[in-house]
Structure 1
Amino acid sequence: MTPNVRLKTAVEEAGFTQAELVEKLNEQLRTAGHRGTVSDRTVRYWLTGKSRWPHPRQRAALEAVFGRPTVELGFVPPEGPLLRRTFLASTTATAAGSTLPTTPSTTGRVGTSDVARLRASLDGLMALDDARGGHAALERTALSGAAECLGSQSRASSQRVRQRLLGLAADFTATAAWSNIDARHLGRAQGQLKEALYLARMADDPTAEMRVWNSVAMLAHQRKEHNQAVDAAHAAQATAITRRDPLFASLAHARTAVGHANKGDRQPALRSLGFAEDLLGKANPSTPRPSWIAFYGPAELYALSAIVQDRLGDAAEAEAASHKALAVLPGQFRRNRALATARLGLAQLHQGDTEQACDTASTVFDLMAGGQLPGRMRSLMSDFYRDLQEQALTCPVARAWGDRYRDQWSRK
């Protein structure tokens, strides 16, 4: 049983006592026309981790009191069939309640409202990924969404709806692929990215195509195929959306910078990073964009800059960039905060500050409390442990960190 650290922190930040929280939650329930069913024991079970997924009405009350989705408060939805029924709701009001059926409907015409419902379900998957990272249930549900989109095409009310369904199928498939990249199931991800690219081109959807090339670059990065990573990032730069929206162009250049840095090509890496910074400054934050790119902004660019600087041997600059990333990272990106924290620990370790590095890296386990570390994060922590062994394993602090790392690693 793992304590809910994120809920405890939220309660402390709001200045509530446990009794005050109970009162506020029951007040929200009564306002919504329900009985006040939250007790001191209920809150205690949440804080200790004994209860990890509240009743739907209680989740709504929690979100109203704290102004954030329940997954950001450290709650973890159950796996399996319940995921589809209870957690595909988007964290925004427009998507609330949307779900994917287990099989596509076989009657009636499919119109723009159906497309909107599917898009809202996809947004819900993005929120789940932001909080927990890639895992098998997310992949399965994303593939179910792609299947529904493709199965609905024959009943589309217009050619425009058909194209939008194809684009959504590409996005759902790319989401499944991304889940596998994050979980380090790289073989499955490769096949899904090929399918997603085919669908994106059939849909004539340059945004979906850019998303696929971005993921292809990340897949090549995970496989240490750095030439292919640069090629994929260049392909992302060449998509039509990057000419229309500098935010997408900035991401493509940032991904190129990481590829060059991994190859040890200092000047191309810094040049691409400079392009990414300039383009991000030109992007209009209020422009409507798909939910998958919500992760990208100043915080993510700082985080990618930290990777580039560390790869180029500039650990002090990498540490500074990581601090900047963590300072401006939006609260809902729990997994990305943990990744940026791990990068900060690596940068500190590469400067010889072993004790500080171990303290920093230890907070990754706290940030991800209540769930497994995604495979990509486990790999990064493995990199930290490897470098720690090379530098200072005999140090008491390093030994203690190694013991905790092995304990976390052994958890299923």
Structure 2
Amino acid sequence: MTSSTVTSSQPDRPPRPNLAFRRLRGRRSPAEFAALVRRAAREIGERVSCDARYVGRVEAGEIRCPNYAYERVFLHMFPGRTLADLGFAPRSSVRGRGARPAGDAAPSRGTDPVPTAGATGAAVERYDTQDPYETHENHEESDVLRRAFMTGGGATVAAALGPFGLTIDAAATPADRPPRRAGSAEAAALEEAVRRIRLLDDRHGADGLYRRAAAPLRAAYALLDAGATRQATADRLHSGAGELAISVGWLAHDSGRFDDARSHYAEALATARVTGDPALEAHAFCNTAFLARDAGRPREAVRAAQAAQRVGRPLGSARLMSLLALREAGGWAGLADRIGCEQALARAHALFARGPSDGDPEWMTFYGEAELEGLEAQCWSTLGDWPRAARHARRAARLQDPHFTRNIALYTAELADDLARGGLPDEAAQAGLRVLELLDQVQSSRIQTMLAGTARVLLPHRGAFGVSEFLERHASLPRGV
């Protein structure tokens, strides 16, 4: 489990053991008590990944206040008691914002995600105390984004993704009146919608977001049809609509809807070519290459990646060219061409070493050393070199920025699968358990499919340490998770 140390306004101090919680456990072992917590969660419709390690960390005082899901479970288990009675600190003392007004209850079940980043001077598990994208500047906005993602309400998501009016209601425009032409405010709203979708995907994965992101995309193309007041605004709208199509395509891609993703990427590519936008065209080809690799069309992946490199070379971004070389490497791996893959990987590393530049596209904020290691791990895994794949996947998980929850889960799932196939079932099971803990926060069919494959590989190894626990907890996941 990845942890994060965040500087508090208070001086660092060692955690104080939670003796009250320890007394409540009584004679039960931490594992037995964790099983009771999971059972209590099911009774009230919650889903928590409590294990002996979590219980130990609570009792050691490392978790000073549980997230809202655990809070509801604990208060259900011990009716009549408060968090203070259970030995926890007030939420306001461990979060990066003020307390709720007196009497303001925690959000009802299903309206908040699992918080994820520590806010005390001690290292705290990311999902136990504070929201991953909560900063001192945007607490209210973060609440809207969190709840939009987790509740599943289309109207709420539309509000979160279109805060400046990025929605078009056809019924609101009389048939005999053309829609209002777009201005800079609409262009800004479109660009912000793209950023917010990427933000939510980084934290939680695509499955809960894809359908809800379709409305802003329809609105974006309606804006294009309506026209713009100025050419500069029209250019921004075309670029924003293309980027939004790619973002929605990625959500479809990551949630296993490959045909939908292909359609969205093609739409973005067409938009790029109509407007002569090489940056957008390179991005569309980049994602098309990734999709082709995942869809079992490796030769198409190579061609698309090479096309992206031809278009993107004049943009002056070494980091972009590094990523595109990795996309090509993935295609060569799928063709079982080890030499072609190694050559592309070498280019990717050499280009990456040149460092960032002003020409790097905004959408590439995810591409750092962790992603480089993660994509290389996938190449070696495709080639069947499990030890090398596991080595790179382990580095990727260790290097990943704690805010990118989905990627940490992805790299760790890759690690678990590589270890399982490489003949290390006990280590694979431990990595798999770490991924299961993150599934409280991440909804990604890609990760779920990887875990299912790992479980199948580990079935004959039930006797290895931790394997039975992983298999049982994986089998107990709700359907579709």
Interval of TM-score (by shorter of Structure 1 and Structure 2): 0.7 to 0.9
Amino acid at match of 2:347: F
Q: Percent identity?
A: 22
| Corresponding residue number in structure 2 for 1:406 | 475
| Corresponding residue number in structure 2 for 1:388 | 458
Q: TM-score, normalised by structure 2?
A: 0.70
Matched, 1:121 2:186: no
CA–CA distance in structure 1, aligned partners of residues 245 and 191 of structure 2: 13
Matched, 1:161 2:221: no
Map Cα deviations across residues 261-290 of structure 1 (whole Å, 9 max, x no partner).
122111111111111111111132666632
CA–CA distance in structure 2, aligned partners of residues 237 and 163 of structure 1: 23
Report how many aligned residue pairs link the two structures. 384
Relative to structure 1, the CA distance from residue 237 to residue 14 in structure 2 (aligned partners, 3 Å threshold; closer, same or farther) is farther
CA–CA distance in structure 2, aligned partners of residues 4 and 208 of structure 1: 40
Out of 353, 360, 379, the position equivalent to 1:281 is 353
CA–CA distance in structure 2, aligned partners of residues 80 and 50 of structure 1: 11
Relative to structure 1, the CA distance from residue 88 to residue 321 in structure 2 (aligned partners, 3 Å threshold; closer, same or farther) is same
Out of 307, 317, 323, the position equivalent to 2:394 is 323
Relative to structure 1, the CA distance from residue 159 to residue 75 in structure 2 (aligned partners, 3 Å threshold; closer, same or farther) is closer
Shift of 1:173: 1.4
Across the aligned residues of Structure 1 and Structure 2, the Cα RMSD in angstroms comes to 3.6
Relative to structure 1, the CA distance from residue 236 to residue 369 in structure 2 (aligned partners, 3 Å threshold; closer, same or farther) is same
CA–CA distance in structure 1, aligned partners of residues 232 and 186 of structure 2: 13
Q: Helix, strand or coil: the match of 1:408?
A: coil
* Richer in helix (by share): 1
Out of 449, 452, 477, the position equivalent to 1:379 is 449
Shift of 1:210: 1.7
Alignment of 1:137-216 (within 5 A): 137-141=209-213, 143-153=214-224, 154-216=226-288
Shift of 1:52: 2.4
Out of 382, 390, 406, the position equivalent to 1:311 is 382
Amino acid at match of 1:251: L
- Contact 1:362 1:401 (8 Å CA) reproduced: yes
| Corresponding residue number in structure 2 for 1:236 | 308
- Contact 1:258 1:308 (8 Å CA) reproduced: yes
- Contact 2:416 2:429 (8 Å CA) reproduced: yes
Relative to structure 1, the CA distance from residue 411 to residue 180 in structure 2 (aligned partners, 3 Å threshold; closer, same or farther) is closer
Relative to structure 1, the CA distance from residue 21 to residue 283 in structure 2 (aligned partners, 3 Å threshold; closer, same or farther) is same
- Contact 1:84 1:99 (8 Å CA) reproduced: no
Alignment of 1:7-406 (within 5 A): 18-23=88-93, 28=98, 36-37=101-102, 42=106, 52=112, 63-64=134-135, 77-88=150-161, 97-98=163-164, 100-103=166-169, 109-135=181-207, 137-141=209-213, 143-153=214-224, 154-240=226-312, 243-284=315-356, 289-290=361-362, 292-370=363-441, 373-389=443-459, 392=461, 395=464, 397-406=466-475
CA–CA distance in structure 1, aligned partners of residues 192 and 373 of structure 2: 29
Shift of 1:23: 4.8
Q: TM-score, normalised by structure 1?
A: 0.80
Q: Which runs of 5+ in 2 are unaligned?
A: 1-45, 66-86, 115-129, 174-178
Shift of 1:358: 0.8
- Contact 2:281 2:311 (8 Å CA) reproduced: yes
CA–CA distance in structure 1, aligned partners of residues 379 and 96 of structure 2: 49
Map Cα deviations across residues 207-231 of structure 1 (whole Å, 9 max, x no partner).
2222211221222122211111111
Q: Which one is further off, 376-385 or 356-365?
A: 376-385
| Corresponding residue number in structure 1 for 2:79 | none
CA–CA distance in structure 2, aligned partners of residues 337 and 409 of structure 1: 21
CA–CA distance in structure 1, aligned partners of residues 96 and 380 of structure 2: 50
Relative to structure 1, the CA distance from residue 365 to residue 71 in structure 2 (aligned partners, 3 Å threshold; closer, same or farther) is farther
Shift of 1:86: 5.0
Relative to structure 1, the CA distance from residue 321 to residue 98 in structure 2 (aligned partners, 3 Å threshold; closer, same or farther) is farther
Shift of 1:411: 4.2
CA–CA distance in structure 2, aligned partners of residues 312 and 149 of structure 1: 41
Q: Helix, strand or coil: the match of 2:476?
A: helix
Shift of 1:393: 5.1
CA–CA distance in structure 1, aligned partners of residues 355 and 228 of structure 2: 34
Q: Which runs of 5+ in 1 are unaligned?
A: 30-34, 90-96
Q: Helix, strand or coil: the match of 1:234?
A: helix
Shift of 1:165: 0.9
Q: Which one is further off, 101-110 or 225-234?
A: 101-110
